Amino acid sequence: MLGLTTRFSFLALCVLQIDEEVAKLLELKAQLGGDDGKHQFVLKTAKGTRDYNPRQMAIREKVFNTIIGCFKRHGAETIDTPVFELKETLTGKYGEDSKLIYDLKDQGGELLSLRYDLTVPFARYLAMNKITNIKRYHIAKVYRRDNPAMTRGRYREFYQCDFDIAGQYDAMIPDAECLKIVHEILSELELGDFCIKVNDRRILDGMFAVCGVPIDKFRTICSTVDKLDKMAWADVKKEMVNEKGLSEEVADQIGEYVSMQGGMDLAERLLQDQKLSQSKQACAGLSDIKLLFSYLQLLQVTDKASAEKVRTTEVQVMVVSAQKNLLQERLKLVSDLWNGGVKAEMMYKKNPKLLSQLQHCEEAGIPLVAILGEQELKDGVVKLRVVSTREEFDICRADLLAEIRRRTSEA
């Protein structure tokens, strides 16, 4: 039956036949029903979600350490919130995207939904605790029922990493620090060259106003302008005129402004711009951009991978036996190393082969091997082997811990 189903899979004529055979299959499965003691296992994760294997976790940890290190360097605290909120907390906050929220089943209690971002929970946290000032970061997973067919490869469970400064302060100083943080993080992560674009909502609105965009169209024209990073101006203009109802003249005026890029000099020039300077909003925004750039200069941000083996464990020393019947000595030595704070491991075999143990070191990237052998034990030494160079040194048992610490701190 299954053979038929796959062979005819592309002929429309056989769709009916496929359905019939699938129905038979489902019926057979249903006959199993209930808990028959043999627990069937569906070996997949939910659509749009994935496990992180140890290699991915090692990479993830490095990235988090860099980012969190930066947040902490700037004096930020962190909080954590539950993975689900009361449905009412999230209702009405995400506009059209609300349909992407995961709801929990009504099981007779409160109605709940999985968090969609970290910003609404942050706002709830501030209000709930009557907090007026806080500098906080929050790294956690959020949930969106995107349709993967339409947004290729998009996950439904994914990390967000937010940093926010809440509170009444003097203009642009915290804003400048946020940009300094982005700059530090992207530099430290060594992702390559990057560029941070800056603008101001008041400048955008002022610009729309002086170009003749009706106020009720500001938001929708704004999302069209936003597409300039993906579409050419010609297409963006087309959307403004054909879909959003702007005249060509108004669109052209917008086009002149949105092609401008620069630094503090551009802000100064625009403050002199005949048209734009008529908008109070735009002027406020432009003054603040100037102020921001002056701070960015002081913070030194106005300017902009080797195939290292990714290890999944941090073991520094593997304790191995060169001959049989040395399990006791291995256990004693590994225990001494653990007690001394050294990251160590050994094979769970009473009499493992030396070659297998050394192979494990190479595969796992363990840098040192402490080899116990009968002769060495009589002489009171342990053979310490450096995996990368294959050099070996006989170290007096009493000095071993110090020697290992020395070598691992230099690494």
CB of 74 to another protein, least distance (A): 6
Whole-number Å distance between alpha carbons of 194 and 197 = 10
Whole-number Å distance between alpha carbons of 182 and 301 = 10
144 is in an annotated binding site: yes
Whole-number Å distance between alpha carbons of 182 and 195 = 10
CB of 89 to another protein, least distance (A): 5
Q: Are 191 and 211 in contact (CB under 8 A)?
A: no
Q: Give the torsion through C-alpha atoms of 172, 174, 175, 179, to 10 deg.
A: 130
Chosen residue from 4, 7, 54, 280 binding another protein by CB under 8 A: 54
CB of 365 to another protein, least distance (A): 11
CB of 243 to another protein, least distance (A): 26
Residues between 151 and 190 that touch another protein (CB under 8 A): 157, 165, 167, 169-170, 173-174, 176-177, 180, 184
Q: Is 62 an interacting residue with respect to another protein (CB under 8 A)?
A: no
Chosen residue from 52, 194, 233, 393 binding another protein by CB under 8 A: 52
Q: Which two tokens stand for residue 158?
A: 């994914």
Residues between 272 and 311 that touch another protein (CB under 8 A): 295, 298-300
Of how many residues is the chain composed?
Answer: 411
- Residue 59 burial (CB count, 10 A): 13
CB of 39 to another protein, least distance (A): 5
Q: Which residues contact 6 (CB under 8 A, 6 or more apart)?
A: none
- Per-residue binding string, another protein, 18-47, x by CB under 8 A, is -----------------x---xxxxxxxxx
19 is in an annotated binding site: no
CB of 271 to another protein, least distance (A): 21
170 versus 391: smaller Cβ distance to another protein: 170
Residues between 66 and 95 that touch another protein (CB under 8 A): 72-86, 88-89, 91-93
Residues between 184 and 223 that touch another protein (CB under 8 A): 184
Q: Are 189 and 66 in contact (CB under 8 A)?
A: yes
Residues between 97 and 116 that touch another protein (CB under 8 A): 98, 102-112, 114
The SS3 of residue 154 is: coil
Whole-number Å distance between alpha carbons of 84 and 80 = 12
Q: Give the number of C-alpha atoms closer than 13 A to the C-alpha of residue 253, restricted to the C-beta side.
A: 15
Stretch of residues binding another protein (CB under 8 A), selected from 20-28, 227-235, 251-259, 324-332: 324-332
Stretch of residues binding another protein (CB under 8 A), selected from 17-25, 128-136, 253-261, 272-280: 128-136
Q: Is 123 an interacting residue with respect to another protein (CB under 8 A)?
A: yes
Stretch of residues binding another protein (CB under 8 A), selected from 1-9, 22-30, 227-235, 329-337: 329-337
Chosen residue from 67, 116, 118, 125 binding another protein by CB under 8 A: 125
Residues between 130 and 149 that touch another protein (CB under 8 A): 136, 141, 143, 145
Whole-number Å distance between alpha carbons of 3 and 25 = 12
Q: Is 9 an interacting residue with respect to another protein (CB under 8 A)?
A: no
117 is in an annotated binding site: yes
- Residue 181 burial (CB count, 10 A): 21
**Encoded amino acid at 85, one letter:** E
- Residue 183 burial (CB count, 10 A): 20
Q: Which residues contact 139 (CB under 8 A, 6 or more apart)?
A: 64, 67, 68, 78, 159, 160, 161, 162
How many Å separate Cα 124 from the centre of its chain? 23
Known binding-site residue numbers for L-histidine = 117-119, 144, 160, 164
